A and B are shown apart, each in its own frame.
Chain A
Amino acid sequence: MPEIFINGKPYQAEPDQTVLQVALANGIYVPYFCWHPQLSVAGNCRICMVEEEGRGVDIGCNMPVKAGMRILTESDEVRAHRKAILQFITLNHPVDCGICDKAGECTLQDYHYQYNGTPSISHDRKVTSTKFYDLSDRIVLDNERCIVCSRCVRFTREVSKSNGLGIEERADGSLVRPSTDGSFRDDPYSDNVVDLCPVGALLSRSFFYKARVWYLQATPSVCPGCERGCNVDIWHRKPEWFVQSLDAAENTAIARVTPRENAAVNGPWICNKGRDLARIFERKRAGQAMLKGRPVDLPNAVAEARRLLAGAARPAAVVSAWGSNEELEAFRAALGGRVTVVTRQDHVPEPGEVVEDDLLIRADKNPNSAKLRELFGNAAATLPADADLVLVWGEGFEFARIPPGAKVVLLGSYLAPENGHADVFLPISIQTERDGHYTNFQGVVSGFAACFPKAPGVADAETLFAGLAGGGP
């Protein structure tokens, strides 16, 4: 283990590390744009300059550690170079932070205030370039803001392997462009380039001009899109910035979804489906308990369901792979001994969806199939033909499979035609309205927190089960 000195203090380093990695690992911040822990070293932004005593300045991201080397990260020479690099980078950057989605979380903005802080010394017109260039129907590129760090290009080459992006032209006319075969458009991980972009050059269509990031807060969550269970942050409006007069629905809307780094599950990436959680969660909600389509209040509906359940001789239950660990355990504790359990996959791959690949996406499109298997083993996949009551939990169940004459108690979150056909319909909360955990296919348990208050009239499934079992024999 070579020992190196940074700003006079000794630090232990691994032999294959670079100076930048050692510095960052020990809490010494060295600015960087193009370097990324998951990507290859490009060394093109040149801002991670450090000074090796006796050898002058060079970039830290490509400087292998040597035993005894003496590094300065804040010498006058280093500061002068950082400042100059920022002068160069901002030379043709439009500095339109006022209308830039990235403002507030932009690396260039941060570095400018921290390491430069002076206006440009240039008197010449900026080089103009393409604005609003659609790399795909998901990603918008602003070439004027681009600092050509090549992170996005390396991402498509090294991580998503679509080779969907490249750089065209030369010098200050360099342009990031998609490949002509459309491989970037079809890249299921393309949205990660928005997070990778250290400036506001790559922007998400779905978040385009939608909110300033300082109006938003991030709530840790788990993507329910497949059994990988990628850790995500769901961004939504802070209560102090709630919209009072206009479209109040914005206050409980998902503004965007970003990956939350978890080396054991998803690393720093998520797929495009995970970015589109709003498409899953923001469907029309069912908020009214019903008996055969007749609206009733929730306690009455629960009482009716309890009565039906108590009276059933051979009750069965279809358990949801979208239930959290807590809900599944509550179900087993309350009803597990009473009913014949049937498990199933609530969601199956949609037409056109990537079924499975070797990066993140899994074929089982439900978040908690692993916990389901753990609790109920290999429960039957089909309902017993003699069941006289079926409790259906979750969406998309084919009612044709219910034995004729059996009573149906349905727990659902979204408006669906079958809600009105059930003998009892109980509206339940969705993932963004409650806390809980999912177990992914590797056995890693990830937690999610409530982002929004519960929709009016709905109940948590976790508490309902106790109520359903409460009056039973």
Chain B
Amino acid sequence: MTGRKVLMNFEVTPTSHTLEAYLARGGYQTIAKVLRELKPGDVTKEIVASGIQGRGGAAFPAGRKWQVVDPNDGQPHYLIANADEGEPGTFKDRWILENSPHTLLESMLIAAYALAVRNAFVYIRGEFDQPYRRLAAAVEEAYAAGYFGQGILGSGFSCDMFIFRGAGAYVCGEASSLLSSVEGTRGYPRNRPPRLTVKGLFQRPTVVNNVETLSNLSWIMQHGAEEYRKVGTAKSPGTRLISISGHIERPGVYEVEMGYSWAKFIYGVCGGVPNGRKLKAVIPGGISSQVLTGPDAKIMTPEEVESLTLDHDALWQMGSSMGSGGMIVIAEGTCMVRLLQVMLRFYHHESCGQCTPCREGMGWAHRVIDRIVAGQGRPEDIATLRYISKFNDGTTICGLGDAAGYATVAFLDHFRDEFEYYIEHKRSKYDGRLECLPEAAHA
């Protein structure tokens, strides 16, 4: 067990994603109660009081984002659930969409009510097939049952739901490029100001929240913010869906209460590193969060990682973040140079090419690391990678350039000796593998 449950509080069966099953576990009663008893402002107050942080990566308080939108300003507002789950290592929203799409839909109704939204969207990753079909079926069921459309449940509140499928760009998971994509243009991020809550979709106030963030709302409105605060830690209330992958015995999606111990989670719940190997490093929240631990790290040793707790503050203190909750476990003997090569190839491929530092920098970094891996590294290459990262930090339109830079610098900081070894000896310090094989195979 990993603490209290907010989302995974039912048994997954072949039919647990249907409306029937959702109603049987008390579904759509919260929205009925909200429409009956509460004013939009009360909902927002409750969400602010719950202190829920965004689950997409930046952990921005969701309530604060909502407060910028004035429901009574007379213009249309839009609500978008960001289901463009593209961060490598992350597959938690997929679990919600596949197993409990109605939780998301009911929560979005609550949010739409609070923000005076007439048209709500789910922007779903194009590669998601099963999740898309389940979500589309759920929307149809909900329409048929009168949860969407005109005058929902006899109230004066109307809301329509649209599903928008992405076309396979990582950058469209960034809120502003997601909006560009919905508008039908190229998925380019937009400059801030203006903020999206001021001028977003079609130049109207728009709230973009992660699927997991939104899915928490029905629970919060059902049990109250006070009850929600009791889950998790004081600064990071609630739970996180952690999708754990990599060199781990039992990969998958787990719901973990904030503040739960890493050691118990990795070694107990997930069964630890397979083939009797030791833990080398952990990327805690998708590849854009900084890798933790390593022989050269000044901030911590492998033992300290295991004493960590899983919440935003603990990870921020370690110089990393919970990110999108996509945890990647890396076993002893893995070549970090090759791992960084995989990551930089991804960033190069997914850079949208709009602004200069990322457009040119990602390709540059990719070519440098390719050269190192090919055994043609130069001593100054590490400084070049740092240079590229430094001038992607805060100079790009969206956060992807910064994130790629942070991730790169964390690799260089924590595993500097491996990079230097590779450049000097023109081969990996280990055997260059990314797989986690039994000791015998490594030797």
Interface residues of A (CB under 8 A from B): 41, 43-47, 49, 56-59, 62, 64, 81, 84-85, 87-89, 91-92, 121-125, 127, 147-148, 150, 166-167, 169-174
Known A43-B397, A49-B395, A122-B384: A89·B353 in contact at CB below 8 Å: no
Give the docked Cα–Cα distance between A41 and B394 (Å). 19
The count of A-to-B residue pairs whose CB atoms sit within 8 angstroms is: 99
Known A57-B394, A121-B384: A43·B355 in contact at CB below 8 Å: yes
Q: Which residue of B lies closest to A122 (CB)?
A: B364
Q: Are A171 and B359 in contact (CB under 8 A)?
A: yes
B261 at the interface (CB under 8 A from A): no
Q: Are B395 and A174 in contact (CB under 8 A)?
A: no
A-contacting residues, B161-209, CB 8 Å: 169, 186, 191, 193
Interface residues of B (CB under 8 A from A): 169, 186, 191, 193, 348-364, 367-368, 371, 378, 380, 384, 387, 390-391, 394-397
Give the docked Cα–Cα distance between A174 and B351 (Å). 10
Q: Which residue of A lies closest to B396 (CB)?
A: A46
Which chain B residues border A59 with CB–CB below 8 Å? 191
6 smallest CB-CB distances across A and B, nearest first, come from: A174-B353, A84-B391, A172-B363, A171-B351, A88-B360, A43-B191
Q: Are B367 and A148 in contact (CB under 8 A)?
A: no
Which chain A residues border B368 with CB–CB below 8 Å? 124
A116–chain B nearest beta-carbon distance, Å: 13
Known A64-B193, A84-B387, A85-B395: A171·B353 in contact at CB below 8 Å: yes
Q: Are A172 and B378 in contact (CB under 8 A)?
A: no
Q: Are A89 and B387 in contact (CB under 8 A)?
A: no
Offer 22 A-B interface pairs, CB within 8 angstroms, sorted by A: A45-B356, A46-B355, A46-B356, A46-B395, A64-B193, A84-B387, A84-B395, A85-B395, A88-B361, A88-B391, A91-B360, A91-B364, A92-B360, A92-B363, A122-B364, A123-B371, A124-B364, A125-B367, A170-B353, A171-B349, A172-B351, A174-B359
Q: Which residue of B lies closest to A147 (CB)?
A: B356
Which chain A residues border B186 with CB–CB below 8 Å? 166-167
Q: Are A171 and B363 in contact (CB under 8 A)?
A: yes
Q: Which residue of A lies closest to B185 (CB)?
A: A166
A453–chain B nearest beta-carbon distance, Å: 48
Which chain A residues border B348 with CB–CB below 8 Å? 171-172
Give the docked Cα–Cα distance between A124 and B387 (Å). 15
Q: Are B353 and A173 in contact (CB under 8 A)?
A: yes
Q: Are A89 and B360 in contact (CB under 8 A)?
A: yes
Q: Are B364 and A171 in contact (CB under 8 A)?
A: no
Candidates B351, B356, B360; contact of A170 at CB < 8 Å: B351
Give the docked Cα–Cα distance between A44 and B362 (Å). 15
A417–chain B nearest beta-carbon distance, Å: 55
A111–chain B nearest beta-carbon distance, Å: 12
Q: Are B353 and A81 in contact (CB under 8 A)?
A: no
Q: Are B387 and A62 in contact (CB under 8 A)?
A: no
Give the docked Cα–Cα distance between A124 and B367 (Å). 7
A176–chain B nearest beta-carbon distance, Å: 11
Give the docked Cα–Cα distance between A6 and B354 (Å). 29
Which chain B residues border A150 with CB–CB below 8 Å? 354
Q: Are B191 and A148 in contact (CB under 8 A)?
A: no
Give the docked Cα–Cα distance between A369 and B220 (Å). 75
Which chain B residues border A147 with CB–CB below 8 Å? 356
Q: Are A81 and B349 in contact (CB under 8 A)?
A: no
Give the docked Cα–Cα distance between A121 and B360 (Å). 13
Which chain A residues border B395 with CB–CB below 8 Å? 46, 49, 57, 81, 84-85
Q: Are A44 and B367 in contact (CB under 8 A)?
A: no
Give the docked Cα–Cα distance between A45 and B355 (Å). 6
B196–chain A nearest beta-carbon distance, Å: 15
Give the docked Cα–Cα distance between A11 and B364 (Å). 40
A181–chain B nearest beta-carbon distance, Å: 17
Q: Which residue of A lies closest to B348 (CB)?
A: A171
B76–chain A nearest beta-carbon distance, Å: 23
Which chain B residues border A41 with CB–CB below 8 Å? 191
Which chain B residues border A84 with CB–CB below 8 Å? 357, 387, 390-391, 395
Which chain A residues border B193 with CB–CB below 8 Å? 62, 64
Candidates B356, B363, B390; contact of A44 at CB < 8 Å: B356
Which chain B residues border A57 with CB–CB below 8 Å? 394-395
Which chain A residues border B364 with CB–CB below 8 Å? 88, 91, 122, 124
Give the docked Cα–Cα distance between A112 and B390 (Å). 20
Q: Are B357 and A88 in contact (CB under 8 A)?
A: yes
A124–chain B nearest beta-carbon distance, Å: 4
Give the docked Cα–Cα distance between A109 and B307 (Å). 55
Which chain A residues border B371 with CB–CB below 8 Å? 123-124
B158–chain A nearest beta-carbon distance, Å: 34
Which chain A residues border B360 with CB–CB below 8 Å? 88-89, 91-92, 172
Q: Are B356 and A88 in contact (CB under 8 A)?
A: yes
Which chain A residues border B362 with CB–CB below 8 Å? 171-172
Which chain A residues border B354 with CB–CB below 8 Å? 44, 148, 150
A90–chain B nearest beta-carbon distance, Å: 9
Which chain A residues border B353 with CB–CB below 8 Å? 148, 167, 169-174
Known A44-B355, A64-B193, A92-B360: A121·B387 in contact at CB below 8 Å: yes
B72–chain A nearest beta-carbon distance, Å: 25
Q: Which residue of A lies closest to B378 (CB)?
A: A123
Give the docked Cα–Cα distance between A56 and B349 (Å). 29
Give the docked Cα–Cα distance between A88 and B357 (Å). 6
Q: Which residue of B lies closest to A170 (CB)?
A: B353
B373–chain A nearest beta-carbon distance, Å: 13
Q: Are A62 and B191 in contact (CB under 8 A)?
A: yes
A59, A91, A171 — most chain B CB neighbours (10 Å): A171
A15–chain B nearest beta-carbon distance, Å: 14
Known A84-B391, A121-B387: A44·B357 in contact at CB below 8 Å: no
B347–chain A nearest beta-carbon distance, Å: 9
B380–chain A nearest beta-carbon distance, Å: 8
Known A147-B356, A172-B360: A85·B391 in contact at CB below 8 Å: yes
Known A88-B360, A88-B361: A171·B352 in contact at CB below 8 Å: yes
Candidates B349, B357, B380; contact of A46 at CB < 8 Å: B357
Q: Which residue of B lies closest to A64 (CB)?
A: B193
Which chain A residues border B397 with CB–CB below 8 Å? 43-44
Q: Are B391 and A170 in contact (CB under 8 A)?
A: no
Which chain B residues border A62 with CB–CB below 8 Å? 191, 193
B404–chain A nearest beta-carbon distance, Å: 12
Q: Which residue of A lies closest to B376 (CB)?
A: A123
Q: Which residue of A lies closest to B394 (CB)?
A: A56
Q: Are B191 and A170 in contact (CB under 8 A)?
A: no
Q: Which residue of B lies closest to A171 (CB)?
A: B351
Give the docked Cα–Cα distance between A73 and B79 (Å). 39
A172–chain B nearest beta-carbon distance, Å: 4
Q: Which residue of A lies closest to B381 (CB)?
A: A123
Q: Which residue of B lies closest to A44 (CB)?
A: B355
Give the docked Cα–Cα distance between A41 and B349 (Å). 26
Q: Are A85 and B191 in contact (CB under 8 A)?
A: no
A260–chain B nearest beta-carbon distance, Å: 31
Q: Are A170 and B378 in contact (CB under 8 A)?
A: no
Give the docked Cα–Cα distance between A122 and B352 (Å). 22
Q: Which residue of B lies closest to A61 (CB)?
A: B191
Which chain B residues border A56 with CB–CB below 8 Å? 394
Give the docked Cα–Cα distance between A89 and B357 (Å). 8
B191, B361, B380 — most chain A CB neighbours (10 Å): B191
Give the docked Cα–Cα distance between A91 and B391 (Å). 14
A123–chain B nearest beta-carbon distance, Å: 6
Which chain B residues border A89 with CB–CB below 8 Å? 356, 360
A206–chain B nearest beta-carbon distance, Å: 31
Give the docked Cα–Cα distance between A148 and B396 (Å). 15
B350, B356, B358, B384 — most chain A CB neighbours (10 Å): B356
Give the docked Cα–Cα distance between A64 and B378 (Å). 44
